[in-house]
Amino acid sequence: MDLPTNVMIYSDFPEVKNMQGNLIAISEHGYYQVQVQIKDKRHTYLLPIARTALVFLDSLLDVNPDFEVER
């Protein structure tokens, strides 16, 4: 996963519930660093991992089922 990446935020914090943003970093201290656009300004939120779900908006590459990984 490459950061930053576009995400949809699902959280019990009403300020960012169901918002689109950019995941900037995942902290070893238990939070996501996410930037969201509110009106004309960009804001940074530190959201606890335990209370936040992120859906990655960038599509995954389709892999041919016949594709084999050499191990």
Question: pLDDT by residue (tens digit) across 6-54?
Answer: 999 998 888 878 899 999 999 999 999 999 998 899 999 999 999 999 9
pLDDT tens digits along 48-66: 999 999 999 977 666 666 6
How many C-alpha atoms does 58 have within 13 Å on its Cβ side?
10
* Residue 10 burial class via C-beta count within 10 angstroms: exposed 0-12, middle 13-18, buried 19 and up: middle
Task: Kindly list the domain boundaries of the chain, sorted by start residue.
Answer: 5-56
Buried b (16+ CB within 10 A) or exposed e, 30-50: ebbbbebeeeeeeeebebeee
Fill in the DSSP letter of residue 18: T
Answer yes or no: are the C-beta atoms of 7 and 23 closer than 8 Å: yes
